[in-house]
């Protein structure tokens, strides 16, 4: 859950009265853009990415204009521009026009929870506007502070003194920056980065900090985020309908986030436990359809609902239904297996059979009862299966599931389809 850019950033900063550059959204009229140009002399045209993207690979994605013609040309260039970094591709959905703020000084400022200190930590430099990794350590102050008392003016003042910031910056920054802690701490943020904050001369030559770019991370487990009243779609960065549906069931009782790894994958792996999730997805690679962690002892009804959603979206393409986890400590195997089995039975009732091989690797309370119950369901559905206990290495079980997938692709799927009476044309999936 991230937000980048000033379109929403400026609104958020208003919550704590932190000055921000004037910004127009994608719907700005030519007159409005011209007005901005007239008043500020130049505007920056930036693409809007839902959910935000990292700074890497963003070179060339900012346009600068001093006249309307250039501004509109940049708008056309950047409106649907794609940002690529590694495997991640984000497509812009519009542009913003941000007033150029003339300034001599640019400040970098961020608050984040730093694992080195296990405390909220401020990072500040008066040499902002660039990647701070490029700066010398002596030019940057990284200062943890007390979460209970918050970011105090003296912390900012001390830090600026330590890095020998020009003295005209100190007073305005000491006055304004502590407000940002209020935004971070009271609205469920995990990270806030303003870079640059341009120091614009105001009345009596006093400098005023103006936030000119915004990056924020939000904690999806914190209900305080709702206080900001942000529209849901801001965080809907390329969220598939499946992800949206399944993650609605996310509570503290089981199930961390579920993501689609490869929507053309052939192994559907409900995974239990964060560790298992890491290992399984790593070994399965592109064969995995989703990455999931359904551990945390989900009750029967919830397990069944989650499984139903997974089946509805992906079972038709699935070769191997792979139920995998380590030896659970408190997740009840009987309840979770019963939930997944009953959901499978209902799915078959509603949508007809689909060729599947079921591989299970699991341990935990009520293990054999759970396996027995699932076996009964699979028997009644006519599906082949192989259940491994906790005494087989989990990575070996993952490799076994991959081997079964390969067999399914090499004709096994048709073979099972025949025993289920599934017509060739309805076999679907990737074979």
Partner 1 sequence: MKRQSQPGFPYHLGIGNLQDVATKSDRVCVLNILGGESRQVTPTSHAFSGGNVVFGTSPGRAGQVLRTSSGDIPVYNNVREGIDAGHGFNVGVVYLPPSGVRDGVAELVRVNDALEKIIIITEKVAVHDAREVRAMAQSNSVDVIGGNCLGVADSWNQVRLGGALGGDHPEEALTKGSVAIFSNSGGFTTTIAQYLATEGWGTTTLISSGKDVYIHYSARDFAHAFQADDRSKAAVLYVEPGGYYERGIDFGKPAIACVVGRWKSKLTRAVGHAGAMAGSGDRAEDKERWFMEAFEVPELFTPNNQVVSAKGAVVTNIAHIPAALTAVMRLNSIAPDFSSRGSLALKPWIADDKGLALPAELALAPTEAPNPYNAQIGALSQQIGAVIARQTMKDTSGASKMDPKTQVTSVHGHSVLDMAMEPLEAIFALPLVHEIANENDRVMLDIAVAAEVNLTGDPILAATDAAREAGNAPNTIMAVAAGIVGPKRIDRALACTGVLIDLFAHSGLLEGHDEAFDSSSVQLNDKHRGLFAATPEEADDPRPQAILDGVKARGGKSAFLAYLRGMGTQLNRDGLLAALALTIAWAPLQRKRISRLTAETLPWYLRLYGVMIGASIPSQNHQPGSLYGIPRAERFSHWTMADLCFLALTGKKPTNGETLPLQLLIGLLISNGPGAISAQGAKGAVAADGPQTPSRVQINKAMMGFLTHCGFSHGGNGFEGIAFLLEQFKGSGLSDPSDPNHGLDLQAMAHRFATQYKADKRQAKDLGQDVRALPGVHHPVFKGKPVNVDPREQFIAAFLEERGEYNVFHAYYRELVKALYDVGASPYIFCVNVDAIIAALLLALFWKDYEAGTMRDHDLEQAAFNVFLYGRMIGAAAEIDDHVNRGRNMDTRTPASQCHFVV
Q: Which of 78, 340, 344, 378 binds partner 1 (CB under 8 A)?
A: 378
Q: Which of 69, 137, 232, 391 binds partner 1 (CB under 8 A)?
A: 391
Judged by CB under 8 A, the chain residues 29 through 68 that form the site for partner 1 are 53-54
Establish how many alpha carbons lie within 13 A of residue 56's alpha carbon, considering only the half-sphere containing its beta carbon: 7
Q: Which of 67, 158, 175, 278 binds partner 1 (CB under 8 A)?
A: 278
- Name the one residue in this structure whose structure tokens are 């400590």: 329
Residue 330 found at the interface with partner 1 (CB under 8 A): yes
Nearer to partner 1, 270 or 412 (CB): 412
Least distance from partner 1 to the Cβ atom of residue 386, Å: 4
Residue 287 found at the interface with partner 1 (CB under 8 A): no
Nearer to partner 1, 161 or 329 (CB): 329
For residue 196, cis peptide bond before it (omega within 30 degrees of 0): yes
Judged by CB under 8 A, the chain residues 400 through 419 that form the site for partner 1 are 400, 403-404, 407, 412, 415-416, 419
Least distance from partner 1 to the Cβ atom of residue 153, Å: 19
Query: Positive or negative, the Cα torsion across 411, 413, 416, 419?
Result: negative
Judged by CB under 8 A, the chain residues 247 through 266 that form the site for partner 1 are 251-253, 256-257, 259
Q: Which of 18, 344, 364, 413 binds partner 1 (CB under 8 A)?
A: 364
Residue 241 found at the interface with partner 1 (CB under 8 A): no
Least distance from partner 1 to the Cβ atom of residue 308, Å: 17
Question: Residues with Cβ < 8 Å from 231, sequence gap 6 or more?
Answer: none
What is the chain's alpha carbon radius of gyration, rounded to the nearest angstrom? 27
Nearer to partner 1, 98 or 293 (CB): 293
Judged by CB under 8 A, the chain residues 128 through 147 that form the site for partner 1 are 133, 146-147
Residue 267 found at the interface with partner 1 (CB under 8 A): no
Nearer to partner 1, 112 or 208 (CB): 112
Q: What is the 3-state secondary structure (H, E, C) of the chain?
A: CEEECHHHHHHHHHCCCCCECCEECCCCCHHHHHHHHHHHCCEEEEECCCCCCCCCCCCCCCEEECCHHHHHHHHHHHCCCEEEECCEEEECCCEEEEECCCCCEEEEEEEEEECCCCEEEEEEECECCCCHHHCCHHHCEEEECCCCCCCCHHHHHHHHHHCCCCHHHHHHHHHHCHHHHHHHHHCCEEEEEEEEEEEEECHHHCEEEEECCEEEEECCCCHHHHHHCCCHHHHCCCCCHHHHHHHCCCCCCCCCCCEECCCCCCEECCEECHHHHHHHHHHHHHHECEECCCCCCCCHHHHHHHHHHHHHHHHHHCCEEEEEEEECCCCCHHHHHHHHHHHHHHHHHHHCCCCCEEEEEEECCCHHHHHHHHHHHHHHHCCCEEEECCCCCHHHHHHHHHHHHHHHHHHHHHHHHHHHCCCHHHCCCCC
Q: Which of 130, 226, 236, 393 binds partner 1 (CB under 8 A)?
A: 393
Is the Cβ–Cβ distance between 62 and 46 less than 8 Å?
yes
Query: Could you tell me which stretch among 25-33, 71-79, 152-160, 384-392 binds partner 1 (CB under 8 A)?
Result: 384-392
Least distance from partner 1 to the Cβ atom of residue 274, Å: 4
Total residues at interface with partner 1 (CB under 8 A): 98
Pairwise CA distance, residues 410 & 142, whole Å? 57
Q: Which of 185, 234, 305, 429 binds partner 1 (CB under 8 A)?
A: 185
Residue 425 found at the interface with partner 1 (CB under 8 A): no
Q: Which of 285, 287, 316, 427 binds partner 1 (CB under 8 A)?
A: 285
Query: Could you tell me which stretch among 27-35, 70-78, 287-295, 316-324 binds partner 1 (CB under 8 A)?
Result: 287-295
Least distance from partner 1 to the Cβ atom of residue 237, Å: 8
Q: Which of 275, 300, 317, 427 binds partner 1 (CB under 8 A)?
A: 275
Query: Could you tell me which stretch among 57-65, 68-76, 174-182, 392-400 binds partner 1 (CB under 8 A)?
Result: 392-400
Judged by CB under 8 A, the chain residues 193 through 232 that form the site for partner 1 are 219, 221-224
Least distance from partner 1 to the Cβ atom of residue 297, Å: 6
Per-residue string for binding with partner 1, 90-119, x by CB under 8 A? -----------------------xxxx-xx
């Amino acid at each position: 859950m991230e937000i980048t850019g000033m379109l929403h950033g400026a609104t958020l900063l208003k919550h704590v009265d932190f000055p921000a550059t004037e910004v127009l959204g994608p719907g700005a009229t030519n007159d409005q853009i011209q007005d901005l140009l007239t008043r500020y002399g130049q505007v920056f045209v930036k693409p809007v990415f839902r959910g935000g993207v990292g700074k890497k690979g963003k070179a060339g994605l900012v346009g600068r204009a001093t006249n309307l013609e250039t501004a509109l040309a940049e708008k056309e260039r950047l409106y649907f521009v794609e940002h690529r970094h590694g495997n991640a591709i984000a497509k812009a959905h519009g542009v913003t026009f941000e007033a150029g703020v003339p300034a001599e000084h640019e400040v970098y400022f961020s608050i984040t929870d730093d694992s080195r200190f296990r405390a909220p930590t401020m990072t500040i430099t008066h040499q902002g506007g660039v990647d701070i990794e490029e700066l010398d350590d002596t030019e940057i102050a990284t200062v943890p502070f007390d979460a209970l008392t918050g970011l105090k003016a003296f912390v900012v003042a001390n830090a600026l003194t330590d890095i020998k910031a020009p003295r005209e910056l100190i007073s305005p920054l000491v006055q304004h920056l502590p407000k940002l802690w209020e935004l971070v701490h009271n609205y469920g943020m995990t990270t806030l980065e303003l870079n640059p904050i341009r120091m614009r001369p105001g009345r009596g030559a006093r400098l005023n900090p103006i936030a000119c770019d915004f990056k924020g991370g939000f904690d999806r487990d914190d209900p305080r985020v709702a206080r900001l009243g942000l529209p849901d779609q801001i965080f809907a960065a390329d969220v598939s309908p499946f992800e949206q549906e399944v993650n609605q069931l996310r509570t503290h009782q089981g199930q961390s986030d579920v993501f689609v790894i490869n929507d053309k994958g052939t192994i559907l792996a409900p995974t239990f436990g964060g560790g298992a999730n890491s290992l399984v997805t790593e070994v399965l690679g592109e064969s995995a359809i989703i990455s999931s962690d359904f551990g945390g002892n989900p009750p029967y009804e919830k397990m069944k609902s989650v499984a139903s959603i997974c089946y509805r979206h992906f079972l038709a393409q699935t070769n191997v239904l792979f139920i995998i986890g380590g030896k659970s400590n408190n997740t009840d195997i009987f309840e979770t297996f019963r939930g997944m089995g009953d959901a499978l039975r209902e799915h078959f009732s509603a949508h007809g059979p689909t060729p599947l091989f079921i591989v299970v690797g699991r341990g935990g309370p009520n293990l054999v009862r759970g396996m027995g119950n699932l076996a009964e369901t699979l028997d009644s559905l006519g599906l082949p299966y192989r259940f491994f206990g906790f005494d087989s290495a989990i990575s070996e079980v993952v490799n076994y599931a991959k081997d079964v997938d390969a067999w399914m692709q090499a004709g096994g799927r048709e073979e099972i389809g025949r025993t289920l009476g599934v017509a060739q044309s309805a076999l679907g999936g990737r074979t």
